[in-house]
Amino acid sequence: MEQRAQVSFEYLITVTFALLLVLAASVIALQVVTVSNVAQQQILESRDSTISSLLEN
């Protein structure tokens, strides 16, 4: 019985580690998407102002 409890505990630790890894990867992916969206918005604003200034001259 002791061996089965040990194996069960090891599986529990493995599953917990896997869940933490998935959570960390999800948080990183969300941050990357957020940074990407902000950068895209800034690029679009910069592009629009550049086009406007070129058309004025």
With respect to residue 46, please indicate whether it lies within any of the assigned structural domains: yes
Residues in contact with 37: Cβ distance below 8 Å, sequence separation at least 6, in sequence order: none
With respect to residue 15, please indicate whether it lies within any of the assigned structural domains: no
- What's the rounded mean pLDDT across residues 13-17? 97
3-class SS string, 1-57: CHHHHHHHHHHHHHHHHHHHHHHHHHHHHHHHHHHHHHHHHHHHHHHHHHHHHHHHC
How many structural domains are present in the chain?
1
39: which 2 tokens?
């950068």
With respect to residue 8, please indicate whether it lies within any of the assigned structural domains: no
> How does pLDDT run across 23-52, given as a tens digit for each residue?
999 999 999 999 999 999 999 999 988 998
The label of the residue with tokens 């086009």 reads 51
With respect to residue 30, please indicate whether it lies within any of the assigned structural domains: yes
Structural domain span for residue 50? 24-57
pLDDT of residue 56: 84
